[in-house]
Structure 1
Amino acid sequence: MHQVGVLALDGVVPFELGIPARIFGAARDSTGDRLYSVTTCSLDGRPVRTEADYQLTVSHDASLLATVDTVVIPPSHALGPIREEGRLPDTLREALGGIRPGTRIVAICTGAYVLAAAGLLDGRPATTHWREADHLQRMFTTARIDPDVLFIDDGDVLTSAGVAAGIDLCLHIVRRDHGSDIANDVARACVVPPWRDGGQAQYIQRPVPDHTTPGTAPTQAWVMAHLADPVTLADMAAHAGVSVRTFTRRFREEVGTSPGRWLVRQRVDLARHLLESTDWPVDLLANRAGFGTGVSLRQHFHTTLGVTPQAYRRTFRAARPDA
């Protein structure tokens, strides 16, 4: 069983603190056995002040971090010298120094400050909450902070944006470890979307759609049921019963992107699932995902994810014990 250790610092934000246990705790194999064990610790094993109006009692001190396979650092609103001076307190530096080489280290939201102060982000891509990204970059100039993404997977160091982006990152880790079927089961159990791309924008500033205007959700559902068909923008507008111009405007207001970009994303996601769960050749898979030809699939897949379909299949099929 994969051991996950969560370090709760003073001022920890309870919502993000609970994400690892909720997501990893819901991951089960085909026999119903847990795939992860999640344990929370504090630096000294004593109760931890939270950002809310209560304390948390834990059963372990930071020596736990030397025994686990993945360390998760949730955000804190009391980072003090870490955020303002880029300096780790001695107790925290000692705790992080005890982590074994090769351990996967994950930061949610402002947990990235801790990694940066420890030198773990030097020369590496990372992200944090969009409000903190500029400050983090100024404090730690050798890190490569991207303020526009939900999460970044840089192998053994992973970082996420704020709040719900921690869910996306933990689901991504489950997917990387065990494939899309188990990750999708976790998402269903937790009643969250199974996949939001790590490169999706954190914050899209757009007006809230007028609630009196008919939405595009029914048309989105119709398209999802016909991804293999040659659906066009005119088809979507006709289904919604409005002009192409009106449909495009409403779609952008509700979804934050164009109908065409959204459609490609849905087809790429379907192709990803088929690459993980079937042995179909690329041309057949491309047809079932609505791309028509393998050439079209390869182009869109590489543009969206930065890898070829075959490379993606090798990576994620290899992660599945029943592949």
Structure 2
Amino acid sequence: MPVIAVLALDGVPGHELTGPGMCFGTAARHHPHVAYELRYCTAPGFRGTGSPAPFALDTPWGLEGLADADTVLLPGHAGFRDEPDPGVTDALRAAADRGARIGAFGTGTFTLAATGLLDGRRAATGRQYAAELARRHPLTDVDPEGAVVDADPFHSAAGVLGGLDLCLHLITLDHGTPVAIETERQVFLQLHAPADAEDATGPAPCHRAGPHSLGPTIRWMEAHLDRPLTLNDIADHAGLTVRGLNRRFRTETGLTPLQYLLRARVQAAQRLLERGDEPVERIAARTGFGTPANLRHHFRHHTGTGPRVYRTAFRSMVAALTWAEGKQAGPAEAGPADSADDRSG
């Protein structure tokens, strides 16, 4: 299982620590073949997270947690303009020397640049800090837009929402665009769900792979949602009896085969509603529900709303988030880079 080590330096904004956990955890929960071990590591001098919403962090991992990590993530932190602790510099350089992937977001890019690892490479940070990063580290080619920059094995991005764009980029590299798109959708829904709302979908299907995994059969089911799949069809593909299939599905997913199939169909309908303009009649046929009435019944049961209302609400939330992010970025660019609060991510 790939290990992702998130290195917390003193004063790291809390949301920049929770973002990777939300992103990689969501990818694993919603896709049978995705697995990550997320490891939070603290650097020397770490006392706690910074604003907004500071919280305590209790972890058994220090810098030694980076030693065998496949990916190291470096969020922003309060003292990003200071010279990094020698132990941090050594640990990051050692990770790079053994071929680990290193990602930095927000002001974490300053710390990565200070190690010299970004010399001659392109990198990104928050827009309001781009000019300052270029001035302090002239050997680093700074992207002024703060978009995700892939300078393999170094990856960097702005720090909005804890570097979710960077995490989604890494998931794309690991598992492809469809997994990243579905992860983005699920994270988005988590971020914008009402705080007092009960999750109408129930627990997401979760597949725990074993030595005789149902992964191939699950992928086959998801690729043929438009077909009228029966228990016998699924059992034949898995090479099991119907009884054995039910037992195995319960063990590996916590659901029966038909429950899993139904939730996969609802999730496929959600994707089509969010990212296209096909009518409900066509979506019902493509996802195996057959009729719009059948789609509306199951969709409402699992999501708490109807397909058309869901499509409208989702697009409204996307538009609102895009507008809000643009408003936030605009004023920040107007002021001098050095006047920004050191605690920003």
Check the 8 A contact 1:25/1:37 in 2, yes or no. no
Specify the alignment match of 2:50 in structure 1.
Answer: 51
> Of the two, which has the highest radius of gyration?
2
Q: CA deviation at 1:19?
A: 1.4
- Alignment check: 8 A CA contact 1:110 1:128 kept: yes
Counterparts in 2 of 1:1-323, with a 5 A limit?
A: 1-28=1-28, 32=32, 34-44=34-44, 48-52=47-51, 53-81=54-82, 87-99=83-95, 100-164=97-161, 166-191=163-188, 224-225=276-277
SS at match of 2:118: coil
1:254, 1:56 → 2: CA distance?
Answer: 29
**Runs (5+) with no aligned partner, structure 1:** 82-86, 194-220, 227-251, 257-323
1:119 maps to a residue whose letter is G
CA distance in 1, matches of 2:3, 2:180: 17
Give 4+ residue runs of structure 1 displaced > 6 Å after superposition: 252-256
TM superposition score normalised by structure 2: 0.52
How far, CA to CA, are the matches of 2:79 and 2:159 in structure 1?
16
Task: Read off the aligned partner of 1:96 and give its amino acid letter.
Answer: L
- 8 Å contact kept, 1:11–1:51: yes
Give the aligned residue type for 1:23. Answer: C
Structure with the bigger RCO (C-alpha within 8 Å, sep 6+) is: 2
- Residue 128 of structure 2 aligns to a residue whose secondary structure is coil
Q: Return the alpha-carbon distance in structure 1 between the equivalents of residues 17 and 31 of structure 2.
A: 28
Change (3 A) 1:126 1:192: farther
CA distance in 2, matches of 1:50, 1:41: 13
Counterpart secondary structure, 2:4: strand
Larger relative helix fraction: 2
RMSD: 3.0
Q: Determine helix, strand or coil for the equivalent of 1:56.
A: coil
CA distance in structure 1 between the aligned counterparts of 2:16 and 2:63, rounded to whole angstroms = 19
Give SS of 1:126's match: strand
Percent identity of paired positions between Structure 1 and Structure 2: 32
* Aligned-partner residue type, residue 17 of structure 1: L
Decide whether the 8 Å contact of 1:4 with 1:38 is kept in 2. Answer: yes
Residues 8 and 48, structure 1, Cα contact 8 Å, conserved in 2: no
Secondary structure of 1:50's partner? coil
Stretches of structure 2 lacking an aligned partner (at least 5 in a row): 191-272, 279-318, 324-345
How many residue pairs get matched? Answer: 199
